Amino acid sequence: MKIKVIHGPNLNMLGIREVNIYGPMKLEDINKNMEVVAKQNGFEIEFYQSNHEGDIVDAIQESINEKVDGIIINPAAFTHTSIAIRDAIKAVNLPTVEVHLSNIAAREDFRKKSLISDIVAGTITGFGPFSYHLGLLAMMQILNEIKM
Ligand code: DQA
C-alpha cells in the first residue's frame, strides 16, 4: 500500500528556520527516517513539498491517479487559512493524518484553528520531527485495518 506525505510552505527550510520552534532537523532527514520505517513495515512512501497552495491541492488530487492509499499532511501555514486544501482532502476521500511539529494549540491564537482537523482521521501536534513518526505509525495502523 502507498502513503503520500505532503509538506506545506516553509517546511523546506527546516533546520534553518526558527530552530527554537521547529528544531535542527532537515526535512530530507525527516523524510529518510519515515522512508526506513515505512519500508520496514512493507509500505511504499512518497514525499512532496510545495510553498504554493494550488500545487498542494494538485498533489492531493493526484493521489487518486497515483493509487495512493493514505495521506500524511502538514499544511504548515495553510492549515489555518486554506479552504481549498480542506476541500481537496474531502474530495479524494482517502484516510488522512494531520501532522505538526509544534504544538499549534499552545501558540498564537491564529494558529489554534486548523481548517482540516475535523475532516482528518486524527492530528498529531507538538512532538517535533517525532510527530511525523507518530503520524506514520497512525497511518500504517489505519491502512492495516483496511487491509484486513
Ligand atoms: C506548523 C505550524 C504552522 O502554524 C506553521 O505555519 C508552520 C508549521 C508545524 O508543523 O508546527 O509552518 O504546521
| Domain of residue 12, CATH code | 3.40.50.9100
Distance 147 CA to ligand 1 centre (A): 32
Q: How many residues in total does the chain contain?
A: 148
Ligand 1 surroundings by CB, under 6 angstroms: 10, 74, 76-77, 79, 100-102, 104, 111
Closest atom of ligand 1 to 22 CA is 11
Residue 131 is predicted with a pLDDT of 98
Q: Is 52 annotated as a binding residue?
A: no
Q: What is the pLDDT of residues 71-127, one digit of tens each?
A: 999 999 999 999 999 999 999 999 999 999 999 999 999 999 999 999 999 999 999
Q: What is the DSSP letter of 6?
A: E
Q: Domain range for residue 97?
A: 2-147
Q: In total, how many domains does the chain have?
A: 1
Question: Nearest to residue 76, comparing CAs of 29, 23, 11?
Answer: 11
Q: What is the pLDDT of residues 37-83, one digit of tens each?
A: 999 999 999 999 999 999 999 999 999 999 999 999 999 999 999 99
Res 148 pLDDT > 90:
no
Per-residue pLDDT, averaged over 140-148, amounts to 92
Closest atom of ligand 1 to 99 CA is 10
Q: Is 22 a catalytic residue?
A: yes
| C-alpha to C-alpha distances, 3 to 18, 66, 69, 122, 135, nearest whole angstrom | 28, 10, 6, 16, 11
pTM of the model: 0.97
